[in-house]
């Protein structure tokens, strides 16, 4: 992913809500969200490196990763998308040990993962180590968690506003992700790329022939254990090309009849 807003423990009806955009070169091959055979995950798949950007398990566990924008840094030897798969496949302690031992072998990354009880954040570009996040609304893009990038702030606060309004719908969530607001030049991040690229990447929803928003995802986990997931795919002109919806009950969840 390249833009994520996630709310945990904010709304009593929805213990977790995630909205996010995957931005990527249009030439990079991938397949939309589907249930993998092994490991048993609901995720899209990057056909170049084999990993994914967002995944869920039948138990309602979730993980997502963003890259760190570092234009002059040598790529890592491991695929960041593999972290999402591993975080949902390993037990917590072995996975944490892997991050501690091999985290430097990945390109700069931000990882969020939810085990049904706690939301954790880790970046191999932040010295603080693994953080367990308290209840709240968080934003993540291609810098540190809750960096003051305009598109990140707008996305996070829009999600916060929906939750505070007492109602939230899938369409309202996708509207957040379609935001095309371009901030003033003085508000643009300074990440080492050209000014033209900085402006292009400054919108929540990116449209360009070579690089842009390839997919948008909304995850809504209900208190009763129902998990609703929708992914929409887009072409280089920003037109919707695919729509996939999934609904399941978390393994072990007690759902009222």
Per residue, the 3-state secondary structure of 113-161, as one string, reads EECCCCEEEEECCCCCCCEEECCEEEEECCCCCCCCCHHHHHHHHHHHH
Cα–Cα distance for residue pair 245/44, rounded to 1 Å: 13
At 257 the pLDDT is 33
Cα–Cα distance for residue pair 160/163, rounded to 1 Å: 5
- Compute CA distances 200 → 59, 180, 183, whole Å: 38, 10, 10
At 65 the pLDDT is 98
Domain 3-249: assigned CATH number: 3.60.60.10
Q: What is the pLDDT along the chain (257 residues), one digit of tens a residue?
A: 999 999 999 999 999 999 999 999 999 999 999 999 999 999 999 999 999 999 999 999 999 999 999 998 888 999 999 999 999 998 889 999 999 999 999 999 999 999 999 999 999 999 989 999 999 999 999 999 999 999 999 999 999 999 998 789 999 999 999 999 999 999 999 999 999 999 999 999 999 999 999 999 999 999 999 999 999 999 999 999 999 999 999 987 654 43
Q: Are 1 and 22 in contact (CB under 8 A)?
A: yes
Cα–Cα distance for residue pair 253/15, rounded to 1 Å: 13
Q: Domain ranges in the chain?
A: 3-249
Cα–Cα distance for residue pair 52/42, rounded to 1 Å: 10
């Amino acid at each position: 992913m390249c833009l994520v807003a996630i709310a945990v423990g904010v709304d009593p009806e929805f213990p977790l809500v995630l909205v996010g955009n995957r931005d990527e070169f249009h030439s990079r091959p991938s397949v939309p969200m589907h249930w993998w055979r092994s490991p048993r995950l609901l995720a899209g798949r990057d056909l170049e490196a084999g990993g994914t950007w967002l995944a869920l398990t039948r138990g309602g566990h979730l993980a997502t990763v963003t890259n760190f924008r570092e234009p002059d840094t040598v790529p890592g030897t491991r695929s960041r998308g593999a972290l999402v798969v591993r975080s949902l496949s390993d037990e917590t302690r072995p996975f944490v040990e892997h991050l501690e031992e091999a985290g430097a072998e990945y390109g700069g990354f931000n990882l969020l993962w939810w085990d049904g009880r706690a939301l954790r954040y880790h970046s191999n570009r932040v010295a603080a180590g693994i953080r367990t996040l308290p209840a709240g609304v968080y934003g993540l893009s291609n810098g540190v968690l809750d960096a003051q990038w305009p598109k990140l702030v707008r996305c996070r606060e829009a999600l916060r506003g929906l939750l505070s309004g007492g109602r939230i719908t899938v369409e309202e969530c996708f509207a957040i992700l379609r935001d095309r607001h371009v901030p003033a030049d003085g508000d643009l991040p300074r990440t080492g790329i050209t000014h033209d690229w900085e402006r292009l990447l400054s919108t929540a929803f990116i449209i360009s022939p070579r690089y842009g928003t390839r997919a948008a995802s909304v995850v809504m986990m209900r208190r009763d254990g129902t998990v609703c997931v929708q992914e929409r795919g887009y072409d280089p002109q920003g037109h919707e090309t695919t729509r996939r919806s999934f609904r399941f009950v978390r393994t072990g969840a007690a759902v009222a009849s």
